[in-house]
A and B are shown apart, each in its own frame.
Chain A
Amino acid sequence: MSSASGRARKEPAWVRLLLIGIAVAYLAVFLVAPIAAVFTQAFAKGLSAYLHSFADRTAYSAMLLTLLAVVISVPLNLIFGLAAAWAVTKFRFTGRSLLVTLIDLPISVSPVISGLVFVLLFGMQGLFGPWLSDHGIKVIFAVPGIILATLFVTFPYVARELIPLMETQGTEDEEAALSLGANGWQTFWRVTLPNIKWGLLYGAILTTARAVGEFGAVSVVSGHIRGKTNTIPLHIEILYNEYQFVAAFALSSLLVMVALLTLVVKSIVARRAQTQLGRLAPATVEE
């Protein structure tokens, strides 16, 4: 870009300043103020009250349950995301775009519905409810329900990251490996996986963030049994409704830090993925 054309594309300084000012104010009001409020409220009664919030046994078991939901849903949805992205991007078949739409479905469905469907399947009045209760298996108002709801809401994220990435990368690398005598799995492990590792990592991080933070869906299936079926967000709700604001915001501050960490990792990974894409198709990278 020459300096002359650069000047032609610039607005007057006062317009630029005004626009930057509005943008910064907008983000400050909507994004910075809420985060600041979490920390202000969490430390409203000092550091010791803040730390004391974490010493609670029910808070601890909420953290364990949230961790369990993450540990189960991330690998399962990772494998699904890989399979789905492979099927959708390496092949052309009828119903392909419908499949992509269906994969996105859990994102656009209200979280309350995501929980409701499992109540209708496994709850006492549900399809399998009577059979389950005859066999002494509890899904709804128990841990399995929470895991199922978490799996449902975090279902699309890895696939959504991988599909556009693998679409751009095409199939040439894989075809080369295959023609050189590699079998399918070798091609996948040695060629495809290294090509998509950053996208995969980011998908896994998004899945983790959603699994940690899911509220509506797990709220429907949990039954809010303290120390048993409460995840961190559900525990925050209980504390908040009991006017235990310091404790509620202290736990929230933990989740805010997880969210901020997600954003940091995202910006690092996004840059890496760009370079990875850029190496394959230099024309797509600007600057």
Chain B
Amino acid sequence: MPGLGLSLGYTLTYLSLLVLIPLGAMVWKSTGLSLTQFWEIATAPRALASYRLTVGASLLGALINAVFGFLVAWVLVRYQFVGRKLLDALVDLPFALPTAVSGIALTAVYAENGWIGSHLASLGIKSAFSPLGVTIALTFIGLPFVVRTVQPVLEDLDAEVEDAAASLGATRLQTFTHVIFPTVLPALLTGFALAFARALGEYGSVVFISGNMPMKTEITSLLIMTKLEQYDYLGATALGVVMLIASFGLLLVINLLQRWVALRGVAR
């Protein structure tokens, strides 16, 4: 097969120029800080508060998506109903919609005078401009991941295995918990991890709905932005490196999970 030199050479050059060197520059810039300085910035109270909110809301959003995304995938694969194709296509909307648009649209819906926000407000729940608002935005942007990773696995599920379980006397629920769920689990975990990873770095859809109060509703991406606007490049870089390490670690976990999914597919 020809073209290894050309294609690999081009790939590595382009990857290095556009991605690796810029990211490396950030890591290099952070070496301008001593380890103590780096630690001080990375563990400042405002930074810690932003990690707590970012990680907490991302986890919660990913969890909500794991439950409902699984349910949506199940319904889309298993049942026939009017509008199924439309819903199926709509699932990808958070991928396709610009995050700033998602942000102001969600704010309009969940503000105190919004369609859903007004009902929540009458129950005494503040949705927009609170940590709940952050969670709502992060749930929105993570929505496609679980559905899209679980869906193909459900589609490929061997009907005979379920029939066998049923003919051996398993109830529908037993078949689900003992046969279907274990098969889908790797894909479900992958989807969860993808949604979580996406939520960790999210910026556009959150900044409008969160209200951006330091220590309360300020996500880490926004804190970096704030530091940049104050020309605190070293501070921004230190937090950027923390986030980069987190997302790179998650990426490796996701790759392992995906290999597990692929292995399952082969084993079947």
User: How far does the Cβ of B35 sit from chain A's closest Cβ, in whole Å?
Assistant: 20
Contact of B163 among A8, A106, A233 (CB under 8 A): A8
> Is B266 interfacial (CB 8 A cutoff)?
no
Cβ of A120 under 8 Å from chain B: yes
Q: Separation in Å of the B79 CB from the closest CB of chain A?
A: 6
Chain A residues closer than 8 Å to B48, beta-carbon distance:
none
State whether B3 touches A184 (Cβ < 8 A).
yes
Q: Which residue of A lies closest to B237 (CB)?
A: A120
Residues of chain B within 8 A (CB-CB) of A263 are 89-90, 92-93, 96
Q: Is the CB of B159 within 8 A of A5?
A: yes
Instruction: Please determine whether A119 and B228 come into contact, CB atoms closer than 8 angstroms.
Output: yes
Chain A 72-106 per-residue mask, 1 if CB under 8 angstroms from chain B, else 0? 00000001101110111011010001010111111
A267 to B156, CA, bound (A): 19
Contact of B251 among A99, A105, A116, A260 (CB under 8 A): A105
A103 touches B15 (CB 8 A): yes
Q: Taking the complex as formed, is A11 at the interface, i.e. its CB lies under 8 A from any CB of chain B?
A: yes
Tier of interface size on chain B: 35 or more
| A window 161-200: CB within 8 A of B | 171, 174-175, 178, 183-184, 187-188
Smallest distance from the beta carbon of B199 to chain A beta carbons, Å? 10
Chain B proximity of A54: nearest CB distance (Å)? 16
CA distance in complex: A155, B22 (Å) = 13
Q: How far is the CB of A138 from chain B (nearest CB, A)?
A: 17
- Binary interface encoding of chain B residues 216-259 relative to chain A, with 1 for a CB under 8 A from any of its CBs, else 0: 00001110110010010100110010011001101110010000
Contact A120:B71 (CB < 8 A) given known A175-B1, A259-B98: no
Q: Cα distance A113–B224 when bound, in Å?
A: 8
Within 8 A of B (CB), among A120-158: 120-121, 123, 125-127, 148, 151-152, 155
Whether the pair B98, A37 counts as a contact (CB closer than 8 A) is no
Stretch at the interface among B38-46, B182-190, B202-210: B202-210
Asked, given contacts A9-B163, A252-B105, A255-B97, whether A118 binds B11 with beta carbons under 8 Å apart, the answer is no
A119 in contact with B98 given A110-B247, A219-B225, A236-B104 (CB within 8 Å): no
A87-B6 Cα distance, complex, nearest whole Å: 9
* A109 B201 Cβ-Cβ under 8 A: yes
List A255-274 residues whose CB lies under 8 Å from chain B.
Answer: 255-256, 258-260, 262-264, 266-267
Q: Does B72 contact A (CB under 8 A)?
A: yes
Which B residues are CB-close (under 8 A) to A8?
A: 162-163, 166-167
Inter-subunit contact B201/A34 (CB<8 Å): no
Q: Is the CB of A34 within 8 A of B105?
A: yes
Q: Is B150 an interface residue (CB 8 A)?
A: no
Contacts of A110 on B, CB cut-off 8 Å?
200-203, 220-221, 224, 240, 243, 247
B213 contacts the other chain (CB 8 A):
no
Chain B residues 153 to 200 lying within 8 A of chain A, measured CB to CB, are: 155-156, 159-160, 162-163, 166-167, 172, 197-198, 200
Report yes or no: B159 in contact with A26, Cβ–Cβ below 8 A: no
Q: A40-B108, A102-B15 are in contact. List 9 more A-B contacts (CB 8 A).
A: A38-B104, A87-B11, A110-B201, A111-B203, A152-B18, A155-B19, A215-B204, A263-B90, A263-B96
Name B's A-contacting residues (CB within 8 A): 1-4, 6-8, 10-12, 14-15, 18-23, 25-26, 29, 68, 71-72, 74-76, 79, 81, 83, 85, 87-102, 104-106, 108-109, 114-116, 139-140, 143, 155-156, 159-160, 162-163, 166-167, 172, 197-198, 200-204, 208, 220-222, 224-225, 228, 231, 233, 236-237, 240, 243-244, 247-248, 250-252, 255
What are the 8 closest A-B residue pairs judged by CB atoms, nearest first? Answer: A213-B98, A110-B201, A184-B2, A216-B203, A34-B105, A215-B204, A117-B22, A259-B96
